Amino acid sequence: MSQDLLDSLPAPWRFAVAYAPVATRERWLTMLALDVRLAGVVRGAREPILAQMRLAWWRDRLRDSADKWPRGEPLLAALSCWDGGHGALMGLVDGWEALLGEAPLPVAAFEAWIEGRVAACAALGEGADSMARGWALGDLAAHLGDAQEQAAVADMIEAHGWRAVRLPRKMRPLVVLHGLAARTKGRQGAENISLFTLLRLGMLGI
């Protein structure tokens, strides 16, 4: 596992990755690291067109086969662990592109972003759409600054069914991420959740 990629993740995400089985850990790590990278593109660009160009570069790479990838990009090289299935991550690119624009963004933009995460999780295991949506909603709400956007996503959180379902062991990172989101629902403070709660989510999935 690449320590640099792991270090690029928020602390709760690093914790979640630690509970992935060895066989799928690299895929979880690279999916989350790509999400972080794309977030940086959108949040750090001064002009939307520059962000769109960089997102287009990632979209093109995910559309290509791995043998066509340029060298020198560690994250891109790490995505080879998807064994040709990396195209399933293009939804993340589309989702982040939907968030480009002036606030307040429409609900349709948030839905596109959420669907990108849901699709990425679906590529890792079936039956997890609702929990992936919950994770996305909680994470989205925690990073919004515009009052109208916050209100819109709060309504989406209220309408979402937060019931956790039993998932196979390979989806344990999502169980952790959904569990944290269900407990905070967009409020800051995932870092303050008790160690016992974190361990129970990671070890038992509840």
Q: What does the pLDDT read at residue 164?
A: 87
Mean of the pLDDT values across residues 67-88?
A: 96
Q: In this predicted model, what pLDDT tens digit does every residue of 154-168 receive, in sequence order?
A: 999 999 999 988 999
Q: What's the chain's average pLDDT?
A: 91
Between CA 7 and CA 44 the distance in angstroms is 19
Window from 15-19, 57-61, 99-103, 180-184 with minimum mean pLDDT: 180-184
Query: 177, 121 in Cβ contact below 8 A?
Result: no
- Model pLDDT, residue 186: 59
pLDDT above 70 (res 199): no
Q: How many CA atoms lie within 13 A of 119 on its CB side?
A: 18
pLDDT at 197: 67
Does the predicted TM-score (pTM) go above 0.85?
yes
- Which pLDDT does position 45 carry in this prediction? 83
31 against 142, higher pLDDT: 31
Q: Is the pLDDT of residue 196 over 60?
A: no
Structure-token match 């344990």, residue found: 172
Task: With a cut of 70, say whether residue 57 has pLDDT above it.
Answer: yes
Checking if the pLDDT of 202 tops 90, the result is no
The packing angle between helices 11-18 and 172-184, to 10°, is 140
Instruction: Write out the two tokens for 48.
Output: 């939307």
pLDDT for res 187: 63
CA-based nearest residue to 121, from 143, 92, 95, 99: 92
Separation CA 94–CA 98 (nearest Å): 6
**pLDDT at residue 191 tops 60:** no
Looking at residue 125, what is its pLDDT? 94
